[in-house]
Amino acid sequence: MRDSGLVAVTKVTMRERESLAVLRVLGDLLVLQTLRWPDEIRPSAGIKVPTAEEPVHKNEIAMALQLAASMSKNYVLDDERDAYVVAMGELLTAKAGGGDVRSTEATAPAAPVVDLMAALQASIAESKEKRGETAPAKKPSTKTTAKKAPAKRAAPKRAS
């Protein structure tokens, strides 16, 4: 590839998704570089970029620098672990040791059920109380249900 100056365009599957890629020579290495599909690329015409006529305000730059400084830390790549590789290693070790290797379906922990109407009513009552309004006390319902009339009997069937 180095002598010909050519690259190979190929398809690779990563993370359960097919991607375009270029296989090329870089120094003494063979490099696989993923590409974007044409429908994944947005035209730059729709992106608003500040121009010289409308410069970025000094306060915005200062705020961005302050945010970046507050979020920065010394990053040690050695501290990171690929959870998939670790889990696969444990699976292979268990399989090699003759252990029982079965797929278990992971279940997400159940989220607590919240009564939204009760929460909304409590919030409204709390905000009224803070404003000094008092909610009128609810009177018990005095409605009674009407008695149902008995169903009418069906007319006798005629002989044909």
Dump pLDDT digits (tens) for 29-60: 999 999 988 888 888 888 887 777 887 889 99
Concatenating the DSSP letter of every residue in 107-133 gives -PPPPPP--HHHHHHHHHHHHHHHHT-
Whole-number mean pLDDT of the chain? 82
Q: 160 pairs with which residues across the strands? A: none
- For CA atoms 122, 123, 124, 128, the dihedral sign is positive
Contact 20, 11 (CB under 8 A): yes
Contact 94, 101 (CB under 8 A): yes
Among residues 40, 44, 42, which one has the least CA distance to residue 20? 40
- Integer Cα distance of 60 and 74 in angstroms: 25
Query: In this predicted model, which residue has the larger pLDDT, 153 or 128?
Result: 128
Q: How many CA atoms lie within 13 A of 121 on its CB side?
A: 6
- State the pTM of this model: 0.34
Question: At residue 30, what are phi and psi to the nearest 5 degrees?
Answer: -105, 120
